[in-house]
Amino acid sequence: MKNRLLEFVVAVSAVALLSVTTTAGAGTLEDVKKRGVLRCVVSTGVAGFAYPDKSGVWKGFDIDFCRATAAAVLGDSKKIKAVTSTGKTRFTKLNANEGDVLWRNTTITFSRDVGVKLRFHGVNYYDGQGFMVNKKLGVKSAKELNGASICIQTGTTTELNLADYFHANGMKYEAVPIETNDEARQNYVGGRCDVYTTDASGLAATRSTFSDPNNHIILPEIISKEPLGPATRHGDDQWSDIVTWVYYATVTAEEKGVTQANVDKMKSSKDPEILRLLGVEGAQGKELGLSKDWAYNIIKQIGNYGEIFERNIGVKTPIGLSRGLNDLWTRGGLQYAPPFR
């Protein structure tokens, strides 16, 4: 989200250099297998998505997907290395081959897909920019925010979205520029701004840290599309396929009711798609260049999409996000995987 322009410039110039000086090495899959460790480009800390625990073990929604990839490729979800990167260095780290795959709550945009020369592989989290206000203001809709002071991270697309939205609705606002989420929190709690705006997941995470979370509401309006998904480098289609289908495998597993707990039992299911997914029938694994039980390993070690969601950012966690757009298509959400066939 932060300083997307700068990040873009750095990444594009790096790509320009890349195209001049390097040639593609062996396939990423072979590299990872030889190394025995999957290197994921992750963030330096986003609540619920990536953070180190007490003993320095990385956890979170993005990290679990990274572990799922490792489970599929190497058969062991522990064999990951978190390559920490900021919003500005994430694409260069990937393109400079310091990481194998990017799982770092990254919004898919045209310029990143085309300009930065990345391959995006589906949307594992649908986010969007929202507003949070104190209940005592009595505001029920973002349309009532005329004249409000708003805490906003400078130099981000959220800033542009905000300006567009207020302009389109003929409203005025007073921007309170802030740099980080923590700073926004202090300013908002201290009453320096009436409203805090950022991605809805970020709002929920921030609200969960208040001493009085129930006194604050997130307004229903979502004013931008922030589809977050994994990315890989251009030029390695096999590797791209693997990352794509790791994500689809978790969604398919949820759709078919395959969970971490019942995956062994499901191996004797009657549903041919489940059998194909778990490698009992068909040769999906082999076609990807992986072992037969690649998806079985994902579900056994990490779980299906719903389990990953609930464990890290779901209603029962301090972050407390409901599935919303990220529910399965069968339940009115947008999570949809092509058939395993």
Partner 1 sequence: MSDTAKTYKIGQHPDLPPPRTEVGVLGWFKHKLFSTPLNIALTLLAAWFLWSVIPPLFEWIVLDSVWTAESRKECWGKMEVPEGGACWAFIKDRLELFIYGFYPAPQRWRVNLSFVLLIMAIVPVLYDKMLARKFGLWYSVAFPFIAGWLLVGGFGLTPVETDQFGGIMLTLIIGVTGISFSLPIGVLLALGRRSKMPVLRIVCVMFIEFIRGVPLIALLFIASTMLNYFLPPGTVFDLLLRVLIMVTLFSSAYIAEVVRGGLQAIPNGQFEAADSLGLTYVKAHLLIILPQALKISIPGIVNTFIGLFKDTTLVLIIGMLDPLGIGRASLADAVWAGLAREVYLFIALFFFICCFSMSRYSLYLERKLHTGH
Helix, strand or coil for residue 54? coil
Nearer to partner 1 among residue 182 and residue 264 (C-beta): 182
Determine contact, residues 250/304, Cβ cutoff 8 Å. yes
Look up residue 146 and give its DSSP letter. T
Q: Could you tell me the smallest distance in angstroms from the CB atom of residue 204 to partner 1?
A: 10
Q: CA-CA distances (angstroms) from residue 193 to 84, 174, 175, 178, 217?
A: 32, 9, 8, 11, 15
Nearer to partner 1 among residue 210 and residue 336 (C-beta): 210
Q: Could you tell me the smallest distance in angstroms from the CB atom of residue 78 to partner 1?
A: 13
Nearer to partner 1 among residue 300 and residue 323 (C-beta): 323
CA-to-CA distance for 100 and 327, rounded, in angstroms? 28
Determine contact, residues 273/252, Cβ cutoff 8 Å. yes
Residue with token string 């549903």: 271
Q: Is 211 in the site for partner 1 (CB under 8 A)?
A: yes
What number of residues does the chain have? 341
Q: Sort 234 into a burial class: Cβ within 10 Å, 0-12 / 13-18 / 19+.
A: middle
Which region, judged by CB under 8 A, interacts with partner 1, from 128-136, 208-216, 244-252, 270-278? 208-216
Q: Is 133 in the site for partner 1 (CB under 8 A)?
A: no
Q: Is 4 in the site for partner 1 (CB under 8 A)?
A: no
Nearer to partner 1 among residue 53 and residue 138 (C-beta): 53
Q: CA-CA distances (angstroms) from residue 210 to 41, 59, 167, 203, 311?
A: 30, 22, 31, 11, 21
Nearer to partner 1 among residue 18 and residue 171 (C-beta): 18
Which region, judged by CB under 8 A, interacts with partner 1, from 18-26, 134-142, 160-168, 288-296? 18-26
Report CA 99 to chain centroid distance, whole Å: 16
Phi-psi region of 235 (alpha: psi -120 to 50; beta: other; left: phi over 0): left
Q: Which of residues 85-104 bind partner 1 (CB under 8 A)?
A: 85-86, 88-89, 92-93, 96-98
Q: Could you tell me the smallest distance in angstroms from the CB atom of residue 54 to partner 1?
A: 6
Q: Could you tell me the smallest distance in angstroms from the CB atom of residue 313 to partner 1?
A: 8
CA-to-CA distance for 176 and 199, rounded, in angstroms? 17
Structure tokens, 140: 């029920």
Which region, judged by CB under 8 A, interacts with partner 1, from 41-49, 125-133, 148-156, 330-338? 41-49
Q: Is 238 in the site for partner 1 (CB under 8 A)?
A: no
Q: Is 326 in the site for partner 1 (CB under 8 A)?
A: no
Q: Is 187 in the site for partner 1 (CB under 8 A)?
A: no
Q: Is 176 in the site for partner 1 (CB under 8 A)?
A: no
Which region, judged by CB under 8 A, interacts with partner 1, from 139-147, 193-201, 210-218, 253-261? 210-218
Helix, strand or coil for residue 15? helix
Nearer to partner 1 among residue 3 and residue 260 (C-beta): 3
Angle between helices 61-74 and 237-255 (to 10 degrees): 110
Residue with token string 């990839």: 69
Q: Is 50 in the site for partner 1 (CB under 8 A)?
A: yes
Q: Could you tell me the smallest distance in angstroms from the CB atom of residue 308 to partner 1?
A: 15
Q: Could you tell me the smallest distance in angstroms from the CB atom of residue 181 to partner 1?
A: 8
* Chain residues in the site for partner 1 (CB under 8 A): 10, 14, 17-18, 20-23, 25, 44-56, 59-60, 81, 83-86, 88-89, 92-93, 96-98, 180, 182-183, 185-186, 205, 208-212, 317-319
